[in-house]
Structure 1
């Protein structure tokens, strides 16, 4: 039996993760603004002197804070994933028990199978939040295996929630030249892929468009 407060704990963790993502997005936006130093860019000029056009101590502080937030975000995400595994396992067990009881029901039962109410979906159940509705030939998305119509369940650390476009962009930027894991649904089948956001001859780091569902 799952502890009754496990769902509440998971929802609180999701709220915490959302707050961490909001702070990370704000820092990334500041660091990557036009003329900014970037997340990992150098802080010296062509002659090797500290750049005079930026506040170097502030940039260093923001980068340190971003690293701390990423570590916290990873820890929170791991806790959420573990809780989801427990919740989904418990739900599967209840479904199996319900199916077993239903198979034992005789024709004389007052309650027919058609009268059984469907189980209510847990609020933490993962569902697709976006669909690939445009993809450019030769783009990182196309080369790495994404296809038109793929439904996105998880993109790196991004799942259903608020500010999805902003969070997707932030996830791609912060993982440039690094593999990002994807959970997708393709023609009704769940699949796992990896994609590497990277510079190419086209626009953006992926070369595809996400339509929010």
Structure 2
């Protein structure tokens, strides 16, 4: 008849606080980290999750693959113990990642609020001290909003492009805002390289802001110098412009 067995499919998760490989636990420890430190922790967690995923791949299993034979015995062709341990670690790290992203999201909102306030303060200065950059299709160059650039530099935050404009429909909201094919997107409202989730965050920002302007920070090659030029556009999603969607452009992952 045999002895009853634990469910070998269910990973064994130890009790106590969830901790990432770098030793940062869920909860209070995250409160003391700067935005850049949180980003560094996120990168570490992502790297370990990738490595653990490779362990599962080496056994040709995933988080849901059965570890028993059709008659309920542990499979002999895989290392069941290693897979259970790996799955448990992945569960812990996924929880860590969720908490880190929540803190990063809050930090980014604070960062961009401070940048916007600095930009507003800069524009209120007398013209003699304000060096306006050239405008392009409703966009201003980064030099026209020195407050935001200085705020970003001071924080050490690097806004890596996460999307590329593949095409723009003439007469669309994207066209009117100044977007061009080839532009690389650094920020789309609250969507950044840290949280865009394969551009699903961009779609969410668009849906939530129909009829309202969204700040879009892009990088564009200067055709004369071939140097990167940063532009801040204001794009207002809207229907009824004569084409499909609310933007009239096609974005792809960078």
State the TM-score, normalized to the length of structure 2.
Answer: 0.47
**Pair 1:129 & 2:162 matched:** yes
Is 2:184 the partner of 1:159?
A: no
CA 81–159 in structure 1, closer or farther in 2 if over 3 Å, else same: same
Distance 1:29 1:17 in 2: 18
1:98 corresponds, among 116, 119, 122, to 122
Which structure is larger by alpha-carbon Rg, 1 or 2? 2
> Does structure 2 conserve the Cα–Cα contact (< 8 Å) formed by 1:152 and 1:183?
no
Unpaired runs of at least 5, structure 2: 1-30, 134-142, 167-180, 204-215, 219-232, 238-251
User: How far does residue 95 in structure 1 lie from its aligned partner after superposition?
Assistant: 1.0
Q: Post-superposition, which runs of at least 4 consecutive aligned residues in structure 1 deviate over 4 A? A: 148-154, 187-191
Structure 2 contact 63–87 (Cα < 8 Å) conserved: yes
Q: How does 1:103-182 map to 2 (within 5 A)?
A: 105=127, 111=128, 113-114=130-131, 118-119=146-147, 120=149, 122=152, 123-124=156-157, 126-131=159-164, 159=193, 181-182=200-201
The alpha-carbon deviation at position 127 of structure 1 amounts to: 4.6
Check conservation: 2:122, 2:130, Cα contact below 8 A. Answer: no
Number of residues paired by the alignment?
Answer: 150
Cα offsets for 1:149-208 (capped at 9, x unmatched): 796769xx9936xxxxxxx9xx88xxxxxxx833277x97488xxxxxxxxxxxxxxxxx
Select the structure with the greater relative contact order (CA < 8 A; seq sep ≥ 6): 1
Alpha-carbon RMSD across the aligned residues, in angstroms, is 4.1
Q: Which of 30, 36, 50 is the aligned partner of 1:11?
A: 36
Q: Quick one: structure 1 residues 63 and 152, their matched pair in 2 at CA, closer, same or farther if it must change by over 3 Å?
A: farther
Residue matched to 1:46: 70
**Conserved? CA contact 2:35–2:104, under 8 Å:** yes
- Ranges in structure 1 where 5+ consecutive residues have no aligned partner: 1-5, 106-110, 134-147, 161-167, 173-179, 192-208
Where does residue 202 of structure 2 map in the other structure? 183
| Residue number among 30, 35, 45 corresponding to 1:20 in the alignment | 45
TM-score under structure 1 normalisation? 0.55
**Retained in 2: the 8 A contact 1:20–1:73?**
yes
1:48-82, Cα deviation, whole Å (9 max, x unpaired) = 32110111111111101000000001111111111
SS of equivalent residue, structure 2 residue 65: coil
